[in-house]
A = this chain, B = another copy of it.
């Protein structure tokens, strides 16, 4: 059984490992809003418990058990987000913080029944995949909107930034999950992207375009 804190470390390491092979102390500290010294302390503890492999100065990797534990927390986080949006009518930019708390409730039965109640959803309100009870989920193949060329089209299926500010901005522009889009222009001056939606045309900055994930319909 892991503490609330240990669970958060495991989850953070898991997410960082999705981007970099070897997860560094400083990166964990930044993500956890704590100090590198504290991270070193915790890493040692997790290593003692067999949840991470650790060699001094070499960063950490999750063990099989550590990884499964992390995936289970991610599963809970995302299922609760679906609950909040689908059943309690929260907006997609309002759910993350509450889910951060709910993900630590320890009851296998609770999560299985919640999963069933929600109709075994495959993705959370941000398009992130929800692992099943065995920890399995399809590795989704997204393309960043910024990488599309003029004329390319596709469907918005995810976001790689979960801040409320960013999500509210997308909402206002009408760029929500499931929307069909086509790149109509890329501005030379600032790299901003002109996007054609079914009913209107919107312009987004490069920064925004980087964090919108598209499942492509292929090049035009």
Contact = CB atoms under 8 A, between A and B. Distances in A.
Interface of A: 84, 87-90, 94, 97-98, 101-102, 105-107, 109-110, 113-114, 117
Name the residue in A90, A94, A110 with the highest tally of chain B Cβ atoms < 10 Å from its Cβ. A110
A128 to B, nearest CB: 21
B113 A98 contact: no
Nearest to A106: B101
Contact of A98 (B87, B107, B117): B107
A203 B191 CA distance: 81
20 contacts: A84-B110, A87-B117, A88-B110, A88-B113, A88-B114, A88-B117, A89-B113, A90-B109, A90-B113, A94-B109, A97-B107, A98-B105, A98-B107, A98-B109, A98-B110, A101-B105, A101-B106, A101-B107, A102-B105, A105-B105
